[in-house]
Structure 1
């Protein structure tokens, strides 16, 4: 059974999970929503704290949604989200996306969000997602492209963070610029060009959303998945890590602060 070999650069600190829990199906799966039917069965791979998963479950009242994640701890929060919303058609299960514990042809839709950038074998995971999708079903993925991020004000510490993130993410076994590779990985996973609908979208943070995002990265950069790798590999020092963390905090207090995060998206049909 294949197991994940990459290190998750962000970790599961409160600063990370709280930020992930602000995500919705509308801002993270809008390209998929028009294709969802009320009777669909959906698998959300790498579901994290489950807010997107719960949104999807609300769209399939006669269907069912399974949220899977390799980390059991974060699924506790996901189950609480579903319970608070009164959803009875959603379940959360521990699973490694490299070896999904589901039979072939099980789901109408198989979806992942911000997963492929953090794994050692994104093609293998897309191949697994394709395997468990029903014939005629859809496989959907949405991934950020870190090299394409844009922000203001352009603090030198944030620019330094962007350079470090490229090095750390790749050293941990991931691909930080996954957005631009999604359509290529889909073809390598067995989809033909005719099966793949590739598109781009973006998050745009201003105002209160900037503040939340900056506080998240103030904490994220201090987590072992990032800081330990960065220092161990000689990319930076503990002092510089702390300085960048404080720069993130300061950046979020600026009145005109702006962050734009482009995403590559693929919607693939299993034929």
Structure 2
């Protein structure tokens, strides 16, 4: 089953999965790691290929982690990763964050990474995440914003890609500014201000390996993905534009002096 969220402008093609597999608890959930205890029950919403999920599972040897996705197509990869790591305290399943199948107060921690920005009603999803968190438990969310990025060298195709992504995302009903809006989402979903810790951290790609991953991710997205289709169907770009942008990404990734960074907003909310 393919990803079914109409607001999700990307997809689970190889280019996107490579960037998702790069994510770990250390580089994508550092703001919550110190709050995790060995006996916790954790829900990872939008787990993708499971790279963060299995890291959580290793941190809770006396607990359990559940990873969920709205589409089942990626879950076999997540399960394979758990098997490779020898983990038995993690399970994966298909579920919709807007209507979670779990009873109230089920989990010690409900986590989502780069999920709310792809939803038409992020506050609704956050309320549901809050519902399934235990009293005294936590909801932790991290959302990035390409619009906060900088890149060097300053290539026109990379700047144009960022602008294009924001336009396509907004046209699709998602929220490319979700990172800066997380605190507002949390308040609207029912958390009190004193229960929320808001923070920010960055993604930064500068090593040979990281540049190759990030550059190829965007080159491929511009050439063969649902993002490309939405950009063309919406009249936001033409094939010549997209090939020009992709060429600049391929150029960028080969340069020793190249760097990319963007901010991620974070919230850690106690129920």
Is 1:238 the counterpart of 2:239? The answer is: yes
1:235-254 CA-to-partner distances (Å, cap 9, x unmatched) read 11111112211211111111
Q: Tell me by how many angstroms 1:225 deviates.
A: 2.4
Residue 163 of structure 1, CA deviation: 1.0
Match in the other structure for 1:158: 158
Contact 2:18–2:213 (Cα < 8 Å) also in 1: no
Q: Secondary structure at the match of 1:104?
A: coil
Structure 1: where are the runs of 5+ without partners?
A: none
Deviations 1:43-99 (A, max 9, x none): 000000001000000000000000000121111000000000000000001001111
User: Secondary structure in 1 aligned to 2:62?
Assistant: coil
2:156–2:245 contact (8 Å) kept in structure 1: no
Distance 2:223 2:9 in 1: 11
Q: How does 1:100-111 map to 2 (within 5 A)?
A: 100-111=100-111
For residue 185 of structure 2, what is the aligned residue in structure 1?
185
Retained in 1: the 8 A contact 2:13–2:225? no
Question: Which residue of the partner structure matches residue 261 of structure 1?
Answer: 262
Give the whole-Å Cα distance in 1 for the aligned partners of 2:74 and 2:211: 24
Q: Secondary structure at the match of 1:31?
A: helix
The residue number in structure 1 matching 2:55 is 55
Give CA-to-partner distance per residue, 1:217-259, whole Å, 9 cap, x none. Answer: 1112234421111112211111111221121111111111001
C-alpha separation in 2, matches of 1:205 and 1:31: 19
Judged with a 3 Å threshold, the aligned counterparts in structure 2 of structure 1 residues 11 and 243 are, in CA distance, closer, same or farther, namely same
Residues 19 and 213, structure 1, Cα contact 8 Å, conserved in 2: yes
Any runs of at least 4 consecutive aligned residues in structure 1 with deviations exceeding 6 A, and if so which?
A: none
Q: Which runs of 5+ in 2 are unaligned?
A: none
Pairwise mapping of residues 63-74 of structure 1 onto structure 2 (< 5 A)?
A: 63-74=63-74
Further displaced range: 254-263 or 78-87? 254-263
Match of residue 228 from structure 1: 229
Answer whether contact 2:99 2:128 (CA < 8 A) is retained: yes
TM-score normalised to the size of structure 2?
0.96
How far apart are residue 5 of structure 1 and its match? Answer: 5.2
Q: How many residues align?
A: 268
Instruction: Give how far 1:10 is off.
Output: 1.6
Q: 2: distance between equivalents of 1:14 and 1:180?
A: 29
Aligned equivalents of 2:224 and 2:115: distance in 1? 18
Find the aligned partners of 1:5 and 1:59 in 2 and give their Cα distance: 31
| Alignment check: 8 A CA contact 1:157 1:247 kept | yes
